[in-house]
A and B are shown apart, each in its own frame.
Chain A
Amino acid sequence: MTPELRRSVRQGLIGGAVVLYLASVGMLVAFDARAIITNVVNFATVLIVITFAAFGYLAGRPGKGGEPAQPFLLAGAVTGAVAGATVGVVAVLVDFLITGLEWDVRSMWTSVSPTLMELLSFGQSPIVGALLMTLLGFTAGLAAGSLHLATTITRKVILLGLMAFVFGALGAPLFKVMLDGMHIPNRWLFDRDGLTITGAIVLFAAFGLARLGSFRVGGPRQALLKVPGTSEKNLRWVISVLALLGIAVLPWIVNDFVSDVLGFVGLYILLGLGLNIVVGFAGLLDLGYVAFYAVGAYSVAILTARSSYLVGGSVTAPAVAGYTNFWVAVPITILIAVVIGVAIGAPVLRLRGDYLAIVTLGFGEIIRTLVLSDWLKAKFGGPQGLTEVAAVPFFGLNTRDPQILYYLIYAFAGLALFISYRLKTSRVGRAWAAMREDEDIAEGMGVSVIKYKLLAFATGAAVGSLGGAFFAAKLSVANPGSFTLLVSINVLAVVVLGGIGSIPGVVVGSLVLVGLPELLREFGEFRLHIYGAILIAIMILKPEGLIPDKRRALELHQPDHQPEKSVLSAEATEGIQ
C-alpha cells in the first residue's frame, strides 16, 4: 500500500467514524425531520454527504509545495468509498445484532432506532444499503476531490453556491416568514420547511454568480466601491444606516415568535458585550458571569415585584421591596451588581488565569445555591423564585409584547456597544490591553493591575446585571433555574465564537448561537452538544473567532511564554533553586 493510499484509507475511516458518531448520538434521525429540498432530500442525508465530501476533499488536498501529492480524484474517491463502506459495514453488523442475535441494542444505545437503521440503509435491505452507502461515499469523495482540479475561483464559486443552498434551506422557515411578512410571493422558492427544486437551483446559481461577479472586480467591497460617488467612509455610513434600519423594521416583518427570539438574541448581545469586557478586554476568564445576570434579575424582582409572597403570607418582606418603578430599580440594581462584582473580584484578582476561572465558577454556584436554599427562601423564594416582576413601564406601551420589548433591549444593547467601543479605544482600553498581554510589565509601566481588573469586573457586572434586569422584566419571574452555569458557558461561547475581544463578534456570535438554535428546532435539542463542539473547534482551528479582533488574534497565536512561576529573570530562577 502506498503512503498516499494509506492516508486516504485512514481519512476514510475517520470520516466513517464521524458519520457513525452523528448517527449514534441521534443527530441523524433528528435532522432527518428537516427537509433541504422538500420531498427530495433531507438534512440527514445532506449531512452524510457533506461529511464524506469534506474528508474526500481533505484527502485530495495537494502536498505542501503545491505539487499534487497524489491523484486527487483517486484520493477523494477512495476516502469517500472507505468512509461509506465503514458506515455500511457497521450498519450491517448492528442489523445482525438486532435481527440475528436478537440483542436489544436500543436498551443501551438509545439512538439506534428502526428509523436510523432505515435511514442508513436507504430503506433497502442492509447489504444493498451498505453498497449504496459506499457508492454515495465514492461519488461524494470523487466530486469533492475533483474540486482540487478546478481553479481557485471556480472552487470558491461552487462552495459558496452550495453553502447558500444549504443555509437557505435550513433557514427556510425563517425566510419564509420574513418574505410572507413583506408580502413577497415565495411559493416558487420555499415549499413548507424546505426549498423547492427551482429554489435550490436559483439559490445556488444566484450566490455562485454573485461570487463570480465579485471576483471580477476584486471582492464585494471593491464591487460596491466601484459605484460612482462611494468611498470607504460613506460606504461605512451607508452600511451602518442600513443595519440600523434593518434592526428597526425587523420585528414588523417577522412574527411574534421570531421577535421573541430576537429579543433573546439582544439579551445575549448585552451579556456577551459585558463578558467581552472582562474576558476580551481585560483577559480575565470569568466562568461565573451568570452571577451578575442573576443579581440583576433578582434585584429588579425584589424591587419591583408585586409578588404575593412579599405582600401576604407569613414570609417577611425585604426592607425595600415591591412596586418600585423599573427605571428607578435599574440604577440601584447596577450599583448592587458593581458592589458585588468588586467584592467578589477584590480577593481573587491576583490569581492566575485558570484558577480565576474556577473560582469565579465557584462563586456563581455559591450564589445559585444560596438563592435555591430553604435558608434564604424568605428573601429569594427558593426554587420557585420571585414572580410577578413588573413589566418595563415605557410611555404606557405594553412592554411584554415582544415587538416592543425588542426595541428597548436593542437600545440598551446599542448603548453597551457604544460603551465597549469607547472603552476599547481609550486610555483605559490601552491599559487593559497591556495588562492582559503581560501583567508584570504593565504594572512596571505604571498600570495599577488591581484597579483595572476591578474596573473590568465592575463594568462587566453592570452590563450583565442590566441583561438580568430585562430578563426578569421580560419573563416576569426570576428563578434559580434560569441562572445555571450553562448560561455562563453560553455567553462564553458567544464571545469565543465571535472572536474574543471583538465587539461585532459578540453580535454575530449571539445571532448564530442563540438565534439559530431557537429557529431551527431540530438543532435546539443538540444545542449544548454543538456549543461544546464549537468551543473545541474554534480554539483549535481559529482561536481568534469568526470576526477577529486584530490585536487579540495576535495574542492568541503567540506561544505561551509566561513561565510557570512568575519569575522575572533567569537569575531569580537560579536563586529559587
Chain B
Amino acid sequence: MTTQSAAGSRYRLFLERFPVRRFVLVLLALVIAYGGAAGSIATLRAGRFSGEVWANLFISGVARGSVYAIIALGYTLVYGILFIINFAHGEVFMAGAFTAYFVAVGLASKGMLESNPIISIGILFVVSSLVSMGVAILLERIAYRPLRGAPRLVPLITAIGASLFLQYTFRGFYGANARAYPTIPAIQGTWEIGSFPVQKVHLISILGAVALWLVLFWIVERTRVGREMRAVGEDREIAALMGVDVDRTIVFTFGIGGALAGAAGILYVFLFNQVIFTMGFFPGLKAFTAAVLGGIGSITGAALGGLILGILETVGPNLFLDGAGVPSPNQLIPIVAFGILVLVLIFLPGGFLGAPDDKSRA
C-alpha cells in the first residue's frame, strides 16, 4: 500500500497542482502568435502583393465566408435543439447543388440562363433548397429520430455513416465525375464600386448570404415556430408539456437548415463552378468550424465565424506563410481551417458568442 507520505509528498502535490494543460496552451499560443506575426511582417516587407491583391483576397474571403456562414446555420440550428453534430450536413448541401446542376443544364439548353438570368437563378435556388430540405428531413426521420436520448457517441457514429451513405448515394444517382456548371453570363465579370472592381459573383454571394441570414434570424426570433424551436432547445420535455409538438419542431429545424444549405450550394457553385459527389464534405467541416468559432448554437455566431474563417483562409496562408518562405502556401489552406478548429476548441470551447465556460473542472 502506498504510504501516506508518498501520497501527500510536496513534490507530487506540486506537480498535480501545476496547470500543465494551461502551460502547454499558453506556450502553444505564444509560438503561433510569434510565427504568424513574423510571417506577416516578412510578407509585408517583401511587398510581393499589392494593396489591390490583398483587397481582392479579402473580398473573396468574405464571399467564401458567407457561404460557410449559411451552411454553418444548419449545424447551429440542429445543435441548438438536439445537441448532436449533424456530420452529414455537408452532404445535404451537396445534394441540392448537385441536383440543381441538371436543372441548370436544362435551362442552359433552352437559353434561359442568358435570356432570363434572374428567373433562372431563382429556379436554381428553389430546386436546390427543396432537394436539400427533403434530404435533411429524410435524414432526420431515418437516421436521427430513432436515436433520441441515446448516448452521444451513437448519433455521432450514425452521422458519419449518413455522410458516407449520402455521398455514395448521389454518386450512384448522378455518377462519379465532377461536372462544371453552365455559366450564367449575367453574373460574370466585375462591378466597379467607386473605382474598385469587384467580381460580381463575390458580391452576389455576399448579398445572398446576408438575405438568407436575415430571413433565418426573423424566423427564429419573430415567428411562432422559431419560439418553439428555442423552447425545444431549452428543455425538450417542458416544451412538450407546454404543448409544443417536439417532433414537428425538430423536423422543421432540419428542414430549414437543409433549405439554407441548398441555397448555400447555389452560392457555392457561383464561386467555385463545379459539382461532384464529394463536394460537401470539406465545406461541411469548415462550416462546422465556423459554427464552433462563433459559438455553436448562436445564429449571429455562425455568421461571424463563417466570415472570420473565410477571410483567414484566403488571406491567411499568403500573409502568414508566404513571407516565412513556405512554397505554395495555398496548399496549406486546410491547415488554416482545421488549425483554427483545434485552437478554438482548446482555448475557447464556447466560441466567441457561446456560453461562457463554467467553473467546473470536470
A residues apposed to B, CB below 8 Å: 21, 24-27, 107-111, 279, 283, 285, 287, 346-348, 350-355, 357-359, 361-363, 365-366, 369-370, 372-375, 439-440, 443, 450, 489, 492-493, 496, 500, 526, 528-529, 531-536, 539-540, 543, 555-556, 558-560, 562, 564-568, 576
Query: Bound complex: CA of A23 vs CA of B147, how far in Å?
Result: 28
Partner of B165, one of A351, A370, A533: A533
Query: Bound complex: CA of A576 vs CA of B59, how far in Å?
Result: 41
Query: Bound complex: CA of A354 vs CA of B345, how far in Å?
Result: 11
Query: Bound complex: CA of A536 vs CA of B155, how far in Å?
Result: 9
Whether B154 is near chain A, meaning CB under 8 Å from some CB there, is yes
Partner of A366, one of B21, B335, B346: B335
Which residue of chain B has its CB nearest to the CB of A360? B342
Which residue of chain B has its CB nearest to the CB of A343? B24
Determine which residue in A27, A540, A568 has the highest number of CB atoms from chain B within 10 A of its CB, and name it.
A540
**Known interface pairs A369-B334, A559-B150, A560-B150. Does A489 touch B160 (Cβ–Cβ under 8 Å)?**
yes
Chosen A-B contacts, 7 in total, with CB atoms closer than 8 Å, are A347-B346, A348-B345, A354-B84, A358-B85, A492-B157, A529-B172, A531-B161
Which residue of chain A has its CB nearest to the CB of B79? A354
Query: Bound complex: CA of A556 vs CA of B157, how far in Å?
Result: 12
Whether B339 is near chain A, meaning CB under 8 Å from some CB there, is yes
B residues apposed to A, CB below 8 Å: 20-21, 24-25, 28, 83-85, 102, 142-143, 146-147, 149-158, 160-169, 171-175, 285, 288, 292, 326-329, 331-332, 334-335, 338-339, 341-342, 345-346, 349, 355, 358, 360, 362
CB distance from A554 to the nearest CB of B (A): 11
CB distance from B109 to the nearest CB of A (A): 11
**Known interface pairs A25-B169, A26-B172, A559-B149. Does A535 touch B288 (Cβ–Cβ under 8 Å)?**
no
Q: Is the CB of B161 within 8 A of A363?
A: no
**Known interface pairs A533-B165, A559-B150. Does A110 touch B332 (Cβ–Cβ under 8 Å)?**
no
Interface of B is mostly: helix
Q: Is the CB of B24 within 8 A of A346?
A: yes
Q: Is the CB of B169 within 8 A of A496?
A: no
Query: Bound complex: CA of A476 vs CA of B171, how far in Å?
Result: 32
Q: Is the CB of A560 within 8 A of B334?
A: no
On chain B, the residues within 8 Å of A347 by CB distance are 21, 24-25, 28, 346
Which residue of chain B has its CB nearest to the CB of A369? B334
Which residue of chain A has its CB nearest to the CB of B296? A355
Determine which residue in A283, A359, A362, A370 has the highest number of CB atoms from chain B within 10 A of its CB, and name it.
A362
On chain A, the residues within 8 Å of B173 by CB distance are 24-25, 109-111
Q: Is the CB of B153 within 8 A of A285?
A: yes
On chain A, the residues within 8 Å of B21 by CB distance are 346-347, 350, 450
CB distance from A161 to the nearest CB of B (A): 31
On chain B, the residues within 8 Å of A496 by CB distance are 157
On chain A, the residues within 8 Å of B166 by CB distance are 532
CB distance from B57 to the nearest CB of A (A): 20
Known: A24-B173, A539-B158. 9 other contacts (CB 8 A): A25-B173, A285-B157, A358-B345, A369-B332, A375-B331, A531-B161, A535-B165, A556-B150, A567-B358
The 5 closest A-B pairs by CB, nearest first: A535-B161, A25-B172, A532-B165, A532-B164, A529-B168
On chain B, the residues within 8 Å of A354 by CB distance are 84-85, 152, 156
Q: Is the CB of A358 within 8 A of B147?
A: no
Partner of B358, one of A372, A559, A565: A565
Q: Is the CB of B326 within 8 A of A539?
A: no
Partner of B161, one of A353, A362, A526, A534: A534
CB distance from B118 to the nearest CB of A (A): 25
Q: Is the CB of B342 within 8 A of A363?
A: yes
Query: Bound complex: CA of A535 vs CA of B143, how far in Å?
Result: 10
On chain A, the residues within 8 Å of B165 by CB distance are 529, 532-533, 535-536
Q: Is the CB of A348 within 8 A of B346?
A: yes
Partner of B168, one of A283, A440, A526, A562: A526
Q: Is the CB of A558 within 8 A of B342?
A: no
On chain A, the residues within 8 Å of B142 by CB distance are 536
On chain B, the residues within 8 Å of A558 by CB distance are 151
**Known interface pairs A347-B346, A375-B332, A566-B360. Does A539 touch B24 (Cβ–Cβ under 8 Å)?**
no
Query: Bound complex: CA of A321 vs CA of B335, how far in Å?
Result: 27
Q: Is the CB of B362 within 8 A of A568?
A: yes
CB distance from B102 to the nearest CB of A (A): 5
On chain A, the residues within 8 Å of B175 by CB distance are 110
CB distance from A100 to the nearest CB of B (A): 18
On chain A, the residues within 8 Å of B146 by CB distance are 540
On chain A, the residues within 8 Å of B149 by CB distance are 559-560
Query: Bound complex: CA of A362 vs CA of B338, how far in Å?
Result: 5
**Known interface pairs A353-B156, A531-B161, A536-B158. Does A108 touch B346 (Cβ–Cβ under 8 Å)?**
no
